[in-house]
Amino acid sequence: MKRKILTMLVLTLFALSSAGLLAQGQEEAAAAAKPVAIEFWTTETQSDRMATIQVLIDTFTALNPDITINLIPVDENALATQTQTAAAAGTLPALFEGPAETAVSFGTQGVLDIQATRAVVDKIGKDRFYSGPLKVLETTDKSSYYALPYHGWIQGIWYRADWFEEAGLNPPNTWEDTLKAAEYFYQPDKNQYGILVGTLPEAYAEQCFTPIAMSNGAALFDADKNLVFNSPEMKEAVEFYAELAKFNPPGPQTWRARDYYLQGKMAMFFYSTYIMDDLAMLEAAAGSLTGDNFGDLSGADFDPELVKNTRIAPIMTNESPAGYGTVVALGFFQQDDPAKTAAARKFIEYLYTPNAYITFLHMAPGGMNPMLKEIASNPRFQNDPMGLFKSYGPEKMAEIIDGLENVETFSIVEGVRIEEASEITAKQIIPQMLYKITQEGMSVDAGMRWAEAEMRKLID
Amino acid sequence: MHAQIKNTGKLPPGGSATALTDGRTRAQREELLGWALVLPSVAIILALILYPVLYNIYLSFYQVNLSGASRFVGFLNHREVLGDREFWNALLTTIIYVAFSTVGATLLGLGTALVMNEKFPLRGLVRSLILLPYVAPVISVVFSWQFFFDPVNGIFMDIFYDKLGWFSQRINLIGSPATAVWVAIIFSIWKNFPFAYLMILSRLQAIDQNLYEAAEIDGAAGRHKFLYITLPEVYFVVNAIILLRVIWNFNKFEEVYLLTSNVKVLSVYTYLKAFTGAMDLGQGATLAVLQFILLIGFILFYVKRVIKW
Amino acid sequence: MVTGKRPLRKIGFALLVLSIVLFCIFPFVQMLSLSLKYQWDWGNPSLIPSRLNFDAYKELLNIGQSLKNVPESIINLLDESPDLTPAQRSAILAKYQDTGDVFPFLKYFGNSLVLSLSAALFSVILAVFGAYSFSRLRYRGRAVVQRGVLMVYMFGGILLLIPLYKVFVSIGLLSTPTGTFIGLLVIYMVQTLPVSLYMLGNYFRTIPFSIEEAAMIEGASRFGTIWRIIIPLSISAIATVYIYSFMIAWNEYLFASVFLKSYKDLYTLPIGLKTLFVSKNAIWDRIMAASMLTALPVMALFMTIQKNLTGGMAAGGVKE
């Protein structure tokens, strides 16, 4: 009963605030009431997420019958390529949802509409956003933003707490402890591996590498925008990474190798909070498997203790502590037809209304965390479908969300936003270097020289 | 009774200047008709191939900038590409890939065709099964191959490391750059040998059985029958297969890229150059032009010297 | 004829056939096996699943799936959008329960089928005439055209991609689904034309000119001889070429992936499968089941035609 009243109260608040935003939207709609069709590229390619976003679109277009939105899934690793092709052909969509670094890279190429972005930020109110993520997306002159932060995740090393305990090892919070554990658990003759770090030239490798470099004080640029990639700190980080990679499963690997962890063949792996969703599903599946029908499961690689004994070490420390996460942003591509931009603006504003926002975030509890402070403390948000807030506890979840405030990337140095670093990330130069060093047998020095040359090509 | 038709092996007598009723010579009529029949094919090929080809050549002289204007740079791209060690590595990988996959597919196709030309129970079913690799879409079989070679869970390592001990440790054959090209070659042979098999088999079936019977009467051994009857009969089709396979495998993108993503044959290298990293479309176009030159050189050589088409 | 002399030889021959067959079908066996395994069984190298799991197929084919559960967040969303009419609300819900199939197999299958059948048909029609011209008629420029046709192969798909995409966009072909479909159709035709011309040309050369000559002396036109003599005599070759063109179109994905991006309803099977794989829905049983479903129709189709094909070859009795 109590809960019901509370819910009612919250709902009323939502309704009021949504109505406010909608009213503003409707004024603008009056100005451009002719039918308009826009495209929306999303990197949420899973079918269930697509279906949820489609509901948001359907609801929005039901309320705005003159707007049609075509939702198109684009693989995160192909986003830059697809944009390139579309830009060359003049067929960029009005809207996209993708990693902030990619958005900044688009912004520096001049294909984004930063006026429209600025207008939306102003309308929502800058102070309602977490400041860290917003800063990631700020333009150099600080006059506007390349895109709007919409949700985010943090990353850490997930590990088998029971294995660590049994072996008397410390959790993988520091370079030393991580390496020690990776080495200890690496038993290839038993088909068991120590750790998973990305060694394929994909975004995942950079996601693993960034906190390691950051924790050693290594950077791509200094605050004056000079490339300082080739530093002793960076070299140590690369060497350490290459050392860790020796305890990987054989050959080049990417996030898909987390399967080995789920099969109990690996001790640790870098992963985002999205795994919470997967683990919850695995636990549900496990629940159904241990029933009467499956009494003869012995011998199969299924470990019912796995989910219970999985922990995260979100901060890596060597010289200094560092965490890593990614902000996912909504951005406007420049359009020839202002009506399209107007329609896109209206839709984004709708997505920020609490009702739509929470629906969106609940697609992947743990993986998708809000960028507006008020949503994080919203009881409806905390009442997620997976029951993560309940099982992990509000403190843990708050910690994750707070982590977003301290998201560190190579593209912000002492508060200065460095577009070139985002370019380097978008072009996956560091993952390519790590691949060359760990897989092609290139020496660390040669690999770093190669990467530096590639970076200089981009900057000039 | 089947009609027995002897192949003359020569071009039809077309050029004779027999005067026909409409006043044109037969040669003139043939010329018109010849062009008329081939024109639709030629037109569509010109429209969809010539433009991109020219466009690629044009692009190869430019520093392509997507957000701004492209800048004419002369032969800069060409010099950079030729001076890049990775290009030569890609070329070497391509040659290895094309040579082994072509020879492998052709030989296996020839052998299989010889086996399938014999009579045995269930031959019809077996013949159909053999074609499966060739007809299945690339994208639908690569995942199975990837899993087969998965170092931790794959059957390959389970058999050859765990059970047989042929390897000293579990190796990621399909992922490691040193071995991936060989997996790609085996995949290509697996995927494409049925084409060679099919072509050769239909040729074998067309060989006049009287030839073999005559040879048997003369007391020829199986080996001799193969050398002096079968081989000459399939010579042309084998050459055609080799030519086609070289061309196709040289440009193969999907079969390589979808399978392992780190075997840098030229087509993949071009793709990576043009669409990833620094996204250098100008250099991508340059690579395309270079590939074109290499391939046309090979084809002219092969067609003139080997097939004498 | 050659077999059956010595039993040892017979066994060796049987082993040879067996190993060829195994080599060919092993990846399919692997695919089937994994598609039927539970997640906890993936690490088990045995090809036989510890327990059969049909969930992936059921899910992909939408068999026995009760209406999709609507998550609370979506119900909340709709309840709290007061401006929606009840009709709109139920329409949105119905659409939600209806879409979001992980792999709408039948739709993709239909798209692939229509596209490939028509591309192959047009390609073969053009190729019959072109190949006849190559093999039977003498004219200036023939050698140039014959070789020029092979040019198509010198540029792989990637290198034609951007220019063609640009042209098609600039003439507005890609702005409608029909236009996009036609665009792909034409590209697939070009991809298959050269091999059709080449293979048919070779085949036509093996048909003795004397048969045609006889018909022409009796007053048949050139088109008449093509229709009544060349096509019937080479029907098995034409069928081979047709199926070949069909395969190329059916299996193609590079162009489809770029051209069809905006038209989810036009996705072909390979694009659907690729989309499934890059999405994080990609877990092995689903990928393998979807691979199986993508490969099966074309394999089944081919095996049925293959019988006719062999039969046609025997019945036609055309020997060189």
What does each C-alpha distance from C38 to A368, B15, B157, C64, C284 come to in angstroms?
28, 70, 21, 18, 9
> Does a structural domain hold residue B31?
no
Residue B65: inside a domain, yes or no? no
The reply to whether residue C302 touches residue B190, judged by beta carbons under 8 angstroms, is: no
With an 8 Å Cβ cutoff, is C283 touching chain B?
A: no
Which residue range(s) make up the domain with A108?
2-146+325-405
Residue B259 resides in a domain: yes
Distances (CA, A) of A351 to A9, A249, A401: 21, 41, 19
Residues of B in contact with A193 (CB under 8 A): 152
- Residues A279 and A173 placed together within one structural domain of the fold: yes
Q: Which of A22, A46, A54 sits opposite C99 (nearest CB)?
A: A54
Q: Inter-chain contact B42–C319, Cβ cutoff 8 Å?
A: no
C 6-65 residues with CB < 8 A to A: 38-44, 50-51
> Best interface-test mutation with B: which of A84, A186, A256, A266 has the largest number of B CBs within 10 A?
A84
Do the domain assignments include residue B162? yes
Read off the CATH number of the domain in which A259 is found.
3.40.190.10
Within-domain flag for B286:
yes
Q: How far does C92 lie from chain A, in Å, by closest CA?
A: 6
Mean pLDDT, residues C245-274: 83
User: Which of A166-175, B137-146, C125-134, C222-231 has the lowest average pLDDT?
Assistant: C222-231
Using DSSP's 3-state secondary structure scheme, residue A38 falls into strand
Residues C15 and C126 in one domain: no
CATH code of the domain in which C155 resides: 1.10.3720.10
Is residue C45 domain-shared with residue C79, that is, in the same domain? no
pLDDT band at C280 (very low <50, low <70, confident <90, very high): low
Most C-contacting residue of A3, A12, A59 (CB-CB within 10 A), to test interface: A59
Alpha-carbon gap: A109 to the closest alpha carbon of chain B (Å): 6
Contact with chain C for residue A88, Cβ under 8 A = yes
Residues C83-103: tens digit of each pLDDT: 888 888 888 888 777 765 666
- Give the residues across from A99 on adjacent strands: A328
One domain, residues C47 and C127: no
A90 to chain B, any CB pair closer than 8 A? The answer is: no
Nearest to B253 among C34, C146, C158 (CB): C158
Among chain C residues, the shortest Cα distance to B209 is held by C319
Contact B188, B205 (CB under 8 A): no
Residue B168 counted as domain residue: yes
Sign, Cα dihedral of C214, C217, C222, C225 = negative
Reported as a pLDDT band with limits 50, 70 and 90, residue C26 is: very high
Q: Is C56 on the interface with B (CB under 8 A)?
A: no
Q: How confident is the model at residue A20, as a pLDDT? A: 42
Q: Is the pLDDT of residue C314 over 60?
A: no
Q: Nearest residue on chain C to B193, judged by CA atoms?
A: C24
Please report the ipTM that was assigned to this predicted complex: 0.81
Residues C39 and C182 in one domain: no
pLDDT, average across residues C236-261: 82
Biggest CA–CA distance in chain B, Å, is: 82
Cβ-based neighbour number of residue A26 at 10 Å: 12
Q: Which of A15, A50, A262 shows the shortest C-beta gap to C82? A: A15
Q: Say whether residue C289 is in contact with chain B using an 8 A CB cutoff.
A: no
Q: Is C232 on the interface with B (CB under 8 A)?
A: no
Q: Do C40 and A263 touch (CB under 8 A)?
A: yes
A317 and A297 share one domain: yes
Please state, in angstroms and rounded to a whole number, the distance separating the CA atoms of residues A281 and A161. 20
A84 contacts on B by Cβ (under 8 Å): 66, 275, 279
pLDDT at C205: 83
Q: In this structure, is residue C134 part of a structural domain?
A: yes
Of A384, A405, A426, which residue is a domain's last?
A405
Q: Same domain for A334 and A451?
A: no
d(CA B178, CA B191): 21
C301 in any annotated domain: yes
Residue C250: band (very low, low, confident or very high) from pLDDT cuts 50, 70, 90 = confident
pLDDT-above-90 percentage for chain C: 16
Residues C266 and C120 placed together within one structural domain of the fold: yes
Q: Tell me what the mean pLDDT of segment C280-305 comes to.
A: 78
Number of domains in chain A: 2
- Determine the distance in angstroms separating the CA of C83 from the nearest CA of chain B, rounded to an integer: 42
Interface contacts B/C by beta carbons within 8 Å:
289
Rounded to an integer, the average pLDDT of C181-207 is 85
How far is the CA of B236 from the CAs of B199, B240, B273, in angstroms?
Answer: 11, 6, 38
Domain span including residue B214: 84-307
- pLDDT of A312 > 80? The answer is yes
Same domain for C138 and C37?
no
Q: How many residues does chain A have?
A: 460
Please tell me if residue C4 touches chain B, with a CB cutoff of 8 Å. no
Regarding whether C120 and C247 lie in a shared domain, the answer is yes
User: Would you state the pLDDT for residue A23?
Assistant: 43
Closest in A84, A201, A457 to B66, CB measured: A84
> Which residues are A413's β-sheet partners?
A416
- Confidence tier at C220 by pLDDT (50, 70, 90): confident
The whole-number pLDDT of residue A290 equals: 45
Tell me, yes or no, whether C1 lies in a domain. no
Alpha helices in A298-441 (DSSP H): 338-351, 354-361, 373-376, 379-382, 388-392, 394-405, 419-426, 429-439
- CB contact A429 to B (< 8 Å): yes
Residue with tokens 């099966």: C296
Q: Are A73 and A45 in contact (CB under 8 A)?
A: yes
One domain, residues A347 and A211: no
pLDDT at B215: 80
- In total, how many domains does chain B have? 1
C92 & C114 share domain: no
Helix (H/G/I), strand (E/B), else coil: A193? strand
Q: Do the chains contact at B175 and A428, CB–CB below 8 Å? A: no
pLDDT < 70: residue spans in chain B: 1-24, 65-69, 275-279, 307-309
Q: Which of B151, B277, B279 sits opposite A249 (nearest CB)?
A: B151
* Cβ(A354)–Cβ(A56) below 8 Å: no
Q: What's the total number of domains in chain C?
A: 3
- List the single residue in A with minimal CA-CA distance to B67: A109
Distance from CA of C74 to the nearest CA of B (A): 35
Say whether residue B189 is in contact with chain C using an 8 A CB cutoff: no
Residues A145 and A135: their CA atoms lie apart, in Å, by 8
* Contact in structure between A160 and A268 (CB atoms under 8 Å): yes
Element (H, E) at A370: strand A369-370
Phi, psi of A312 (to 5 degrees): -115, 140
Domain that holds residue C41: 7-53
| Distance, CA of A50 to CA of C68 (rounded, Å) | 14
Shortest alpha-carbon distance between residue C108 and chain A (Å): 15
The answer, yes or no, to whether residue A69 has pLDDT greater than 90, is: yes
| Whether A277 contacts chain C with CB within 8 A | no
Which pLDDT score, from 0 to 100, does residue C43 have? Answer: 76
- Same domain, residue pair A319 and A337: no
**Per-residue pLDDT for A31 more than 50?**
no
Question: Which chain C residues are within 8 Å of B4, Cβ to Cβ?
Answer: 319
Across chain A, mean pLDDT equals 83
Examine residue C79 and state whether it is found in any structural domain, yes or no: yes
Q: What is the pLDDT of residues A148-189, one digit of tens each?
A: 999 988 888 999 999 999 999 999 999 999 999 999 999 998
Q: Do A7 and A123 fall within a single domain?
A: yes
| Chain B CB within 8 Å of residue A176 CB | no
The CATH number for B294's domain is 1.10.3720.10
Question: Tens digit of pLDDT for each residue in A197-210?
Answer: 999 988 899 999 99
Q: Is the pLDDT of residue C58 over 90?
A: no
- Comparing CB atoms, the residue among B36, B45, B148 nearest residue C27 is B148
**From the list B66, B170, B276, which residue is nearest A87 (CB)?**
B66
Instruction: Please tell me whether residues C176 and C301 are part of one structural domain.
Output: yes
pLDDT at B279: 64
Q: Look at residue C59 and tell me if it is in a domain.
A: no
